[in-house]
Amino acid sequence: MKKWLGIFLALTLVLALAACGKSEQKSESKDTGADKAETTKLVVGASPVPHAEILEKAKPILKEKGIDLEIKTFTDYVFPNKALASKELDANYFQHVPYLNGQIKEFGYDFVNAGGIHIEPIGIYSKKYKKLEDLPKGAHIIMSNSVADHGRLLSLLEQNGLIKLKEGIDKTKAEIKDVVENPKNLKFDANYEAKLLPQIFNNGEGDAVLINSNYAIDAGLNPVKDSIAIEDKDSPYVNIIAVRKGDENKPAIKALVEVLQSKEIQDFILEKYKGAVVPAPTK
């Protein structure tokens, strides 16, 4: 009888320990779920270069802050804003302020600038001439069909003495019709998507091609070394984090901007792009 009683007590103890173990596993599972709930997913649309590369550098830093950054790349300037408006993205990082303002005016987007990150000095490239002053009369100048970029391109030409723009205009909004002096009778051809400009340059088309630096870098060009003229670091065309109005105050968006404006990321930009991309001034 004692023997059977001992066996019964032993079995009871084993079952009790097993139940306790299951209870602890459930508790641990619940704790793990709670940890996961604290992670915030953030989906950001970006141009492949340099925007997505900069975001990749920021990704592990954001991970430490409980933010899981997902980067979606776009190779044009239209769909990132459409995706932001349709809430496929939480933010996008590809455009400068004048372009954003133009998009808001054209499409009625309810977007705001959550913070400036970097500047991509735009450059003038030529397969035929080594200096701007070498451009002949009637030179064929190829540029983006994005009107939001025209003021920037024309201002660069004006700064280098090739043209003069109408007095008193906002030069970020200047258009070809605002050129009042054109001593060399330059012929402006603004019929191309910005992403096609590097290939047009490589094909030797035109006498000079004005190329946005993100597309130049993506095509293997070095804006500092390969251009015959380039914007200076004081360019007003700061590339920004754009969000839907009201989202700029969300903790995850604020953390994203803070990390991208940090010294660690600024140093990365300076080291990697060597002047082809420069950090934007921060307050």
Tens digits of per-residue pLDDT, 7-30? Answer: 444 444 444 444 444 433 433 434
Question: With 50 as the cut, is the pLDDT of residue 93 above it?
Answer: yes
212/235 Cα distance (integer angstroms): 13
Listed residue (124, 131, 179, 125) closest to 151, CA to CA:
179
Q: Record the tokens describing residue 191, joined without a space.
A: 């019929």
Q: Considering the domain 39-121+236-279, what is its CATH architecture?
A: 3-Layer(aba) Sandwich (3.40)
Q: Distance of CA 283 to CAs 15, 55, 258, Å?
A: 65, 21, 12
Cross-strand pairs, 230 = 123
Contact yes or no for 200/81 (Cβ under 8 A): no
User: In the prediction, which pLDDT does 232 show?
Assistant: 79
pLDDT band at 42, cuts 50/70/90? very high
255/62 Cα distance (integer angstroms): 7
Burial track 56-86 (b if 16+ CB lie within 10 A, e otherwise) = ebbeebbeeeebebebeebeebebbbbbbbe
- Distance between terminal CA atoms of the chain? 85
User: In the prediction, which pLDDT does 283 show?
Assistant: 59
- What residues have CB less than 8 Å from 178, skipping those under 6 apart? 154, 165, 166, 169
- Mean pLDDT, range 205-214, rounded to an integer: 95
User: In the prediction, which pLDDT does 62 show?
Assistant: 98
pLDDT band at 236, cuts 50/70/90? confident
User: In the prediction, which pLDDT does 119 show?
Assistant: 94
Q: What values do phi and psi take at 41, rounded to 5?
A: -90, 135
Strand order in the sheet with 229-230: 187-192, 140-144, 208-211, 123-125, 229-230
CATH 3.40.190.10 spans which residues of the chain? Answer: 39-121+236-279, 123-230
Amino acid at 196: L
Mean per-residue pLDDT over the chain, rounded: 88
60/54 Cα distance (integer angstroms): 12
Tens digits of per-residue pLDDT, 46-77? Answer: 999 999 999 999 999 999 999 999 999 999 99
Listed residue (206, 196, 149, 198) closest to 176, CA to CA:
149
Just give the CATH number of 123-230.
3.40.190.10
